[in-house]
Amino acid sequence: MERTAGGGRDRDDEGRARNARPRDGLGRPLPYGTQGVARQPEGVARTPDETVAEAQALLAEGKPFHAHEVFEDAWKSGPKEERALWRALAQVAVGLTHAARGNTTGGARLLRRGAAGAEEWAARSGRPRPHGMDLAGVVAWARELADGMEAGGGPVDAADRAPRLRREQAS
């Protein structure tokens, strides 16, 4: 990735516009030359299990913006019948990003939109636990966080409030 002379747009090797600015753990751009958090590579094809595991690790580290990028890759490269699922999970991750940044309105809106999308996908597909995920738990978590934000909650700690995508199964 290189920055064009004269402050122009960052471009990748194929000449497509790409923002190469470093970012913090919540995805906020930092000044050029600043040490940021390693970015998720774009366009990575992962298995669903790899997607869930990588996104969960990023959420647990308090990096929901980066988890959203993992979900976005699955949304764009995965099977057509699962795209709405991955899009909904990306929206939930962006909602947590906004909640951690203190954007109450945007965070609550995206959390609710992602929850509704995940719930609708599960009902339509008949798969409440795709790839071992607990969609009902994620939906409840997202709505609870949105409710708290709308009731006057300020910025949240993204790592402390991260959802668990999979629940341990009782034996």
Distances 62 to 26, 40, 103, 161 between C-alpha atoms, Å? 8, 14, 16, 8
Q: Which residues of 141-161 are buried (b: 16+ CB within 10 A; e: fewer)?
A: bbbebbebbeeebeebebeeb
In tens, the pLDDT along 21-49 reads: 888 878 878 888 888 887 777 778 899 99
Output phi, psi for 17, to 5 deg.
-65, 130
Whether 107 is covered by a domain: the verdict is yes
Whether 170 is covered by a domain: the verdict is no
151 alpha carbon, distance to own chain's centre: 23
Whether 84 is covered by a domain: the verdict is yes
Cα gap 136→142, rounded to integer Å: 10
- Residues 24, 92: one domain? no
- Residues 98, 141: one domain? yes
- Residues 7, 69: one domain? no
- Residues 25, 64: one domain? no
Please count the structural domains in the chain: 2
- Residues 11, 85: one domain? no
Place of tokens 């339509």: 124
Distances 159 to 60, 83, 164 between C-alpha atoms, Å? 5, 26, 11
Kindly state the tokens that stand for 87.
Answer: 């899009």
Name which of 17-21, 113-117, 167-171 the model is least confident about.
Answer: 167-171
- Residues 68, 137: one domain? yes
> Radius of gyration (Cα) for the chain, nearest Å?
17
In tens, the pLDDT along 1-26 reads: 444 444 566 655 666 555 678 888 78
Q: Are strands 10-11 and 2-3 parallel, antiparallel or unpaired?
A: antiparallel
Name which of 17-26, 86-95, 158-167 the model is least confident about.
Answer: 17-26
Whether 135 is covered by a domain: the verdict is yes
Domain limits at 112? 48-150
Sheet strands (E) in 12-156: none
Residue 63: DSSP 8-state: -
Single pTM value for the model: 0.83
Task: Determine the average pLDDT of the residues in 139-157.
Answer: 94
- Residues 100, 142: one domain? yes
More confident residue, 55 or 38: 55
- Residues 56, 24: one domain? no
Helix, strand, or coil (residue 155) = coil
